[in-house]
A and B are shown apart, each in its own frame.
Chain A
Amino acid sequence: MLRIEVNGKDREVSDGHTVAGLLEDLELDGRLVVVELNRQIIRRTEIAEVALRDGDRIEIVHFVGGG
């Protein structure tokens, strides 16, 4: 198991899990969110290829109402 942090909360995922796999676990549409992995933005075209590693810090953001 890998221990990672997603949006400020600890989470465990299986070895070999990718960013795309994480979004699937969270039932998030990859077209509507942006993922930042250890402060680096992961392009949408790359989320299926980027494997998670122990200690990774992930931020998942989207557009909300704002001025």
Chain B
Amino acid sequence: MSTVMRNGLAADPNPLAIGGRTFESRLIVGTGKYRDARQTVAALRASGAEMVTVAVRRVDLDASKEESLLHHLDPQEFFLLPNTAGCYTEEDAVRYARLGREAGLSDWVKLEVIGDQETLLPDTEALLAATRTLVAEGFTVLPYTNDDLITALKLQDAGAAAVMPLASPIGSGLGLLNPVNIRILKSRLDVPVIVDAGVGTASDACETMEQGVDGILMNTALAAAEDPVLMAHAMRQAVEAGRAAWLAGRMPVREWGVPSSPSTGMLD
């Protein structure tokens, strides 16, 4: 696979394509937990992400003047991906997905059905059921799941537009715990594989992209960094570097040293 050089970076010959849309950036970022709306927007811009996730919540009617995120985020600048975070049942996830569709400008949903409060690991049975329901309603469904191949294949069969396995639990920053499982998923799925959750720092993002996955979704790694805008910049570069390294094809690993300089032509 050949690449062309653009601004010193290897350009990706095949941009990320999900559900009939293409994205130049393989980094998708969340909008939660930043200090304020100004920092949120600055971090999103530094990340280079085109798609950003948002949550659906009650308007706080007691707040003096609560502002919707849409006051700060221009849907022309960022493609909004509503999530179903915080939902523990198929019914709730479908309800939040419908509200998100009505609030937003698309039929896309990042589908989460959480099964356990301590680990935030997904309830894959409910996730599959919700995926089937929402696909039947015309949604473009991007389910957050674990790194299990069988569940991923079932989600693909159910019509998911991409499958989003975790690197490690949501908000943990533990990085990529099982690269083998992620590679297995990527090798067996036809839909894009977006690693969602667990990435903590730039090296995690780079390592994840080096497994050959199609993209990464992250939130806390940016928002909980001491400087979220600088970390967003680092993550952008890490995702690009990891992707380029994957496309380039790494050298073989050897147990022993192999000289880089010629062994001939040495002086007597």
Which A residues lie at the B interface, using CB under 8 A? 6-9, 26, 28-29, 32-34, 36, 39, 41, 43-44, 59-67
Query: Given the interface contacts A41-B102, A43-B102, A65-B69, does A7 sit within 8 Å of B58 by beta carbon?
Result: yes
B70 within 8 A of A: yes
Query: Given the interface contacts A6-B61, A7-B59, A9-B61, does A65 sit within 8 Å of B103 by beta carbon?
Result: no
- The reply to whether A65 and B32 contact each other, CB–CB distance below 8 Å, is yes
Cβ of A60 to closest chain B Cβ, rounded Å = 5
In the complex, chain A residues whose CB is within 8 Å of the CB of B115: none
| A-B Cβ contacts below 8 A, count | 97
- The reply to whether B34 and A63 contact each other, CB–CB distance below 8 Å, is no
In the complex, chain B residues whose CB is within 8 Å of the CB of A43: 102
Cβ of A36 to closest chain B Cβ, rounded Å = 7
A65's partner among B40, B58, B82, B98 (CB-CB below 8 A) is B40
Q: How far is the CA of A62 from the CA of B103 in the complex (A)?
A: 7
- The reply to whether B54 and A64 contact each other, CB–CB distance below 8 Å, is yes
Query: Given the interface contacts A65-B31, A67-B170, does A59 sit within 8 Å of B102 by beta carbon?
Result: no
- The reply to whether B83 and A66 contact each other, CB–CB distance below 8 Å, is yes
16 contacting pairs across A/B (C-beta < 8 A)? A7-B59, A7-B61, A34-B56, A41-B102, A59-B58, A61-B57, A61-B99, A62-B69, A63-B56, A64-B55, A65-B34, A65-B54, A67-B53, A67-B197, A67-B217, A67-B219
